[in-house]
Structure 1
Amino acid sequence: MKDRSLRSRAVTLPARALIALARHLPYRLRLALGSALLRGAVALVPRLRSRVENNLRLIFPEMPAGERRRIRRAMADNFGRTFTEILSNPSFHGRGYWIAPEPGPGTEAILRAAREGSGAVLVTGHFGQWEAGRAWMKSSGIACAGVYRPLDEPELNAIYLENLEFGGTPIFPKSRRGVRGIVAHVARGGIVAILTDQFERRGATLDFIGHPAPTALVPAELAFRSKLPLVPIYGIRQPDGLHVRVVVEPPIPHSTVPEMMQAVNDSLAARVRAHPGQYYWLHRRWVKSFAPPR
């Protein structure tokens, strides 16, 4: 137990110091630092670099090596900025760098659910700035719950959770207890946003960008059983690296749970194909292990 505490402190102290330092930097410099750190890590750590490379080779087998390198750098830049924004959520919210979505069926479904207290399930992925949608909703007076995977280090997790809660509450852990909380929340007429693109060992095998990907059915089950709108929502980072355009797609039609969840995957896949540098290619989304590249 003592050794574990020492290891935890060895990890958390530098990270906490870096977070404290970043909070004292001008906002744009803070984001640039986050970008530089992630770009450096992905470029210099073989395990991270090979994970991105393997994912890109799997999905885009004909892509030239130079284009894969460009996407890898763009991914690291976007994720570095996004994670920095999340860890300084009050600053992100205070500057209002998101661009509100255009009027349309999806936006109206969210506004109606908030107005009537009828509930809605929003789906997105680790793409672009995935907290921008909740930031837009909070600025519009709409409470939107979230779901997160707790970090291994308790002190860092506390900082992470505190900033997520700034964007809207409640925040549910990704667990059986969390699922029960989500069900109760939407039953009371709440809105929840769920990231759907993580490997789910006990999930259904659905297609994602042309390859089988174990996928949790919970978002579609929740919407189907409770007769709620299932609405894809994305935050697409703009070329200046600061602004994020919130895009809300029309609600996914109710059919069967697997068909609805396949439509969720297809929606995200189209966004990834359009902006591959904004997807988080570090996820082991399709398989948990790869053969070494030839």
Structure 2
Amino acid sequence: MNSLAMFISRIFLIFPNNIQSLIAKLVGLAVWAVVSRRRKNIMLKNIREIFHTTESEAYLIGKASITRFGGMLADLLQYPRLSKENIAEMVSFQGLEHLKGALDCGKGAVMVTGHCGNWELLGAALSYQGFPMVGVTRRQRNLSFNRFINVFRKMLPGATVLDKGNLRDVFRALNENKIPLIFIDVDGRETGVFVKFFDRWTSTPPGAAVLARMRGCPIIPAFISKASNGKHNIILQTPIWVDNSVNKETAIYDTMQHLSSILEQHIRRLPHEWFWLQDRWRTEKNE
């Protein structure tokens, strides 16, 4: 898989920028074409109900949300040419001082984000800025695609990728003053904490709050979005601290509600950049 991934990347990088953009657009349209009608209907229903849009408006948001995967793949294929010296050509940064200040405490930092923009590039770009990033992911259902992505993830300086279920190793990374990157916009299922997300009770993984509370480290909300000129913008927000003056259950709930509200605000600004295809509200709260 490693040789195949590198071969595809080398071939892709031979083409001029306009051809690369065309390939990305065609791949995005192909991804949209293969998504089942059932999953599209769930996605469009959620968009209509949340934003009170017309069917055509919801369709435009949903389609943009999925077709951008072509651009994400194109960015991934750029990884072999990236370096600390040229990453600024592709990505701009805002709020790096928040992350530097958090690491100065020596307890690591939990970074949280959602599946917004090119989320794969978020951790990669920060790695090239010298930050000890740790990707906390779950394995893709398609094992071949999972191996393909990991080829590029492991190119990053000091790259570490951990399974989201292995909290012990994630906690160890914090002890080493590293930065686990955790996604809070996936279904937390029965073990999640229910918070309001777009005015719906939503099962949310509590790991970010649990780790930050145990370690006594800050949580840094981070987002990446794409500008009209094709460049990506990374914004790191001010640190959030878990309130240890309240009991554990309240502290985790309050923290995850706060983080979910921040994520919601970002999605409302850029709805076409969030991954609407997932059934985010699959797990229902028992009243």
TM-score, shorter chain, exceeding 0.5: yes
Structure 1's 207 and 36: CA in aligned 2 closer, same or farther, altered over 3 A? farther
Within the alignment, does 1:173 sit opposite 2:166 as a pair?
no
Within the alignment, does 1:161 sit opposite 2:154 as a pair?
no
Within the alignment, does 1:65 sit opposite 2:55 as a pair?
yes
Asked whether the equivalents of residues 48 and 54 of structure 2 are also in contact (C-alpha less than 8 Å), the reply is: no
User: Aligned-pair distance for 1:76?
Assistant: 2.1
CA distance in 1 between counterparts of 2:46 and 2:8 reads: 30
Asked whether the equivalents of residues 98 and 237 of structure 2 are also in contact (C-alpha less than 8 Å), the reply is: no
CA distance in 1 between counterparts of 2:224 and 2:101 reads: 21
SS of 1:197's partner is coil
Instruction: Select 1:98's aligned residue among 91, 102, 117.
Output: 91
Asked whether the equivalents of residues 65 and 273 of structure 2 are also in contact (C-alpha less than 8 Å), the reply is: yes
Letter in 2 for 1:213: T
Structure 1's 35 and 264: CA in aligned 2 closer, same or farther, altered over 3 A? farther
Within the alignment, does 1:185 sit opposite 2:180 as a pair?
no
Structure 2 counterpart of 1:271? 266
- 5+ residue gaps in structure 1? 1-8, 290-294
Structure 1 counterpart of 2:232? 244
SS of 1:222's partner is helix
Instruction: Select 2:44's aligned residue among 33, 53, 57.
Output: 53
Matches within 5 A, 1:105-116: 107-115=96-104
SS of 1:150's partner is coil
Instruction: Select 2:66's aligned residue among 56, 71, 76.
Output: 76
SS of 1:214's partner is strand
Matches within 5 A, 1:197-208: 197-201=185-189, 202-208=191-197
Structure 2 counterpart of 1:38? 28
Asked whether the equivalents of residues 31 and 67 of structure 2 are also in contact (C-alpha less than 8 Å), the reply is: no
Structure 1 counterpart of 2:203? 214
Structure 2 counterpart of 1:3? none
Structure 1 counterpart of 2:275? 280
- Judge which range, 192-201 or 138-147, deviates more: 138-147
Within the alignment, does 1:135 sit opposite 2:124 as a pair?
yes
Letter in 2 for 1:286: W
User: Aligned-pair distance for 1:228?
Assistant: 0.4
After superposition, give the CA deviation of every residue in 1:174-193 in whole Å (9 maximum; x if it has no partner): 22xx2221011102221111
User: Aligned-pair distance for 1:72?
Assistant: 1.8
Aligned length: 269
After superposition, give the CA deviation of every residue in 1:50-93 in whole Å (9 maximum; x if it has no partner): 23212213322x20122112212321233331243235433465
CA distance in 2 between counterparts of 1:117 and 1:111 reads: 10
TM-score normalised to the size of structure 1? 0.81
CA distance in 1 between counterparts of 2:11 and 2:169 reads: 35
RMSD: 2.8
Asked whether the equivalents of residues 203 and 283 of structure 2 are also in contact (C-alpha less than 8 Å), the reply is: no
User: Aligned-pair distance for 1:97?
Assistant: 0.7
Structure 1's 73 and 21: CA in aligned 2 closer, same or farther, altered over 3 A? farther
SS of 1:142's partner is coil
- 5+ residue gaps in structure 2? 244-250
CA distance in 1 between counterparts of 2:73 and 2:97 reads: 29
Asked whether the equivalents of residues 107 and 216 of structure 2 are also in contact (C-alpha less than 8 Å), the reply is: no
CA distance in 1 between counterparts of 2:132 and 2:21 reads: 26
SS of 1:166's partner is coil
CA distance in 1 between counterparts of 2:134 and 2:152 reads: 13
Structure 1's 217 and 165: CA in aligned 2 closer, same or farther, altered over 3 A? same
User: Aligned-pair distance for 1:21?
Assistant: 5.4
CA distance in 2 between counterparts of 1:288 and 1:29 reads: 42
Letter in 2 for 1:184: R
SS of 1:189's partner is coil
User: Aligned-pair distance for 1:112?
Assistant: 2.7
Letter in 2 for 1:49: K
SS of 2:111's partner is strand
Percentage of matched positions with identical amino acids: 23
Asked whether the equivalents of residues 132 and 246 of structure 1 are also in contact (C-alpha less than 8 Å), the reply is: no
- Judge which range, 87-96 or 186-195, deviates more: 87-96
